[in-house]
Amino acid sequence: MTRYTEEFGPNVSRILCQGELIVRGRIPQQVRRQLVAAVKARALGHVAKDGLLPEMFYHPDHKLGAMERRKREAEYSIDCIAKVIAVKPVEQRIEEALASIEVSA
């Protein structure tokens, strides 16, 4: 059996052509069934979600590139989280607190 077949549906064909699919949210049940069937038939590779590392389906010949992309996605997620919860230095918070007290007094 060749990997390049429409047996598993258009979603699997798309992943085989593009090389990878990063799953950031939910996938419809029918699509997930097709992808899992292709993984069981070894037409696709699959890596489960692990912490901030996203779930990924990939072309078996492009495993290293897919793992690198998965790592970059996790780094991007960490960077976004760090920007949201960035904490100011203590000295800056003290200066702002003193400035707000002086303004209100």
Q: Is residue 1 included in any domain, yes or no?
A: no
> Residue 4: inside a domain, yes or no?
no
Return the bridge partners of 23, or none. 55
Residues 14-72: pLDDT tens digits? 999 888 999 988 999 999 999 999 999 999 999 999 888 899 999 999 999 999 999 99
Q: Is residue 5 part of a domain?
A: no
According to the model, what pLDDT value does residue 1 have? 45
Q: Is residue 86 part of a domain?
A: yes
pTM for the model: 0.73
Question: Does the structure show a pLDDT above 60 at 105?
Answer: no
Asked if residue 63 is part of any domain, the answer here is: yes
| 88-to-14, 84, 99 alpha-carbon distances in Å | 45, 12, 16
Range of the domain at 34: 10-104
DSSP 19-41: SEEEE-S---HHHHHHHHHHHHT
Do the domain assignments include residue 2?
no
102 has pLDDT over 90: no
Count of domains observed in the chain:
1
